[in-house]
Amino acid sequence: MRDKQVEKLIKAEEKRQKSVINLIASENYVSDDVLKALGSNLTNKYAEGYPGKRYYGGNTIIDKVENLCKERALKLFKLDTDKWHVNVQLLSGSPANFALYSALVPLGEKIMGMKLTSGGHLTHGHPASMTGKLWKPVQFEVDPKTEIIDYKKLKQIAITEKPNIIVAGFTAYPRFVDFKKFREIADAVVYPEQGRKGAILHVDMSHFAGLVAGGEYPSPFIYADSVMTTTHKSLRGPRHAILFVKKDDPSTSLGARRDFDKKLDRMIIPGLFGGPHENNIAATAVALKEANTLLFKKYAKQIVKNAKTLANELQKLGWHIISGGTDSHLILMDTWMNGVGIGGKEAGERLEKEGIIVNMNTIPGDTRSVMDPSGIRLGTCAETTRGRKEKDFIKIAQKIDKILRKK
């Protein structure tokens, strides 16, 4: 690289990544093939529009790349092309959720999602996010005792508040989501003034998409109207996102059609975005193919084994693990423990000094600041990619315990 200053920084970051234990739940390590696609000459091409309908010339090959990515996305999650539409042009998770709401939910209407302290994401209608400013947020929490979703209470809130869309998904919830119950709750919402019933059920599976692909997490596609996923995290691809929406049944009358596929595509271009990043789309296509292998299924299984081992060991060592464990790659750990321990910020800083990277995180019922919350979030995707197994995570748990208890 001619720019030695940037080259030096890249090499320094490479050295840092190799020298630490990375437990950030939203990070992973991509393959060399993914990196090659990201750094390819596809970054030179402008491709505003969709395959076969571009505003620029010279896109014959680019169209093949994008169509291949779409085919692989549908194939990975075993989706019928007659029933599901996919858009692979999204830059990342937050703008993808924003695009979905913009396409399907009128401004000022209600979005219902999990509260941030219960494990929800900012883009699930949090008041600090534009999704909580342009739309009216309706939030639900986990049960304060079990720290698990209370579906009965969730249903009561939905029926009372009548949200246009219900978001099932999380950024820091360690348990399985019951998508069947979410579907039943969405269907129970009635809008008497409009003479209709049934809220849109949107699933944000950004964190657990790789586990769905690997058969280690329930698939949301049976019950959802729309599904969004980022392509990094457990899917082990580039920083990108994909949106899936259900198509109308061909027998649906013209007046009853929802046209989610058409509305979504129009909102993405020309509504919100310009030219897609085709190098990212190519890298996503590579990652989707990698995820559709027996080797990846073994990887997904090991992710969960490692997470359960880490959670169990930390519990044995006396730490409060939110919800009592995990079903996924993700663990939420209470480091404050009602003042007996230390805050999440200090915990993260202590661990980083010793080469363990985590992020501070709010926990259910948290009364501390989001910039110094009561817990930390841990994940096992990145270190599982590096080949670590259960015995390694027992040692990691012991090391975490020793660092955090040091006076």
Query: Which residues are part of the catalytic machinery?
Result: 46, 48, 204, 230, 233, 239
Nearest Cα residue to 220 out of 238, 244, 242: 244
Tell me the β-bridge partners of 85. 245
Please state whether the peptide bond connecting residue 238 to the residue before it is cis, i.e. omega within 30 degrees of 0.
no
DSSP 268: I
Q: What is the dihedral of CA 273, 278, 281, 283, to 10 degrees?
A: -140
| Residue 330 host element (H or E) | strand 330-334
Burial of 60 from C-beta contacts in 10 A (0-12 / 13-18 / 19+): exposed
State the burial class of residue 249 (Cβ atoms within 10 Å of its Cβ: 0-12, 13-18, 19+): exposed
Residue 76 buriedness (CB in 10 A; 0-12 / 13-18 / 19+): buried
Query: Cα–Cα distance between 216 and 120 in angstroms, integer?
Result: 21
Q: Enumerate the β-bridge partners of residue 263.
A: none
- Here the tokens at position 155 are 């249903």
